[in-house]
Chains A and B, each alone.
Chain A
């Protein structure tokens, strides 16, 4: 069965600092990988996705993620964090022919210091 591990429950960074959120997955085949962001009381917004091809994926709001098969990782990065980035971030792996049945990690809550 597939699984997703987000080892960091909470992360606090200063505004303007760089950010990396870790995600490791377990899946037998080539994975479909996603990062979603959830603001308090809101639904999930897709930041970026990896299906195939270039292992460095660009997303919205200046985020990027790199798929590393050898490490079973799909870490999310942003070079300079803004206060509005404070939210909860979820990594997910998808199964099925179009990767639409998702298994989520438990999330990383990001706080941003002014």
Chain B
């Protein structure tokens, strides 16, 4: 039973390019969460999605960031026109959304903007 799969593990982009981060939840999990970890900080909530629905995007920056979780395929976190401040580790987590089910985290994508 594979865990939460994120790819790529490492991503390097130049300023102004686009970054696409992918997350496949655990089998049977229909809820996906994206968190960002800046250097020397804890994880910060970004967005929570179900299939084809954004449930809570209160932690997403207002510009350049978007997320989707289509009916088929992985969840995608997209960052347009990246800037150096976007350099961070981006973690995806999934849940079956049953009561008292904790989140399961992937190993993250480390984005470096040069």
Complex CA distance for A49 and B95, rounded to whole angstroms: 15
Complex CA distance for A95 and B54, rounded to whole angstroms: 17
Contact B99 A90 (CB under 8 A): no
Contact A101 B48 (CB under 8 A): yes
The distance from the CB of A51 to the nearest CB of chain B, in whole angstroms, is 5
Contact A105 B42 (CB under 8 A): yes
Q: Is B12 an interface residue (CB 8 A)?
A: no
The number of residue pairs between A and B whose CB atoms lie closer than 8 Å in the complex comes to 61
Q: Which residue of the partner chain B has the closest CB to A36?
A: B105
Q: Is A111 an interface residue (CB 8 A)?
A: no
The distance from the CB of B29 to the nearest CB of chain A, in whole angstroms, is 11
Q: Is B33 an interface residue (CB 8 A)?
A: yes
Complex CA distance for A46 and B31, rounded to whole angstroms: 17
Given contacts A90-B42, A98-B97, contact A49 B102 (CB under 8 A): yes
Instruction: List residues of A whose CB falls within 8 A of some B CB.
Output: 4, 34, 36, 41-46, 49, 51, 90, 97-107
Would you list 19 pairs from A and B whose C-beta atoms are within 8 A, ordered by A residue?
A41-B107, A43-B106, A44-B43, A44-B91, A46-B103, A51-B100, A97-B99, A98-B99, A99-B100, A100-B33, A100-B48, A100-B95, A100-B102, A101-B33, A102-B45, A104-B43, A105-B42, A106-B40, A107-B42
Of all A-B residue pairs in the complex, the 8 with the closest CB atoms, nearest first, are A104-B42, A43-B107, A44-B105, A43-B105, A106-B42, A104-B43, A98-B99, A51-B100
Complex CA distance for A104 and B103, rounded to whole angstroms: 13
Q: Which residue of the partner chain A has the closest CB to B100?
A: A51
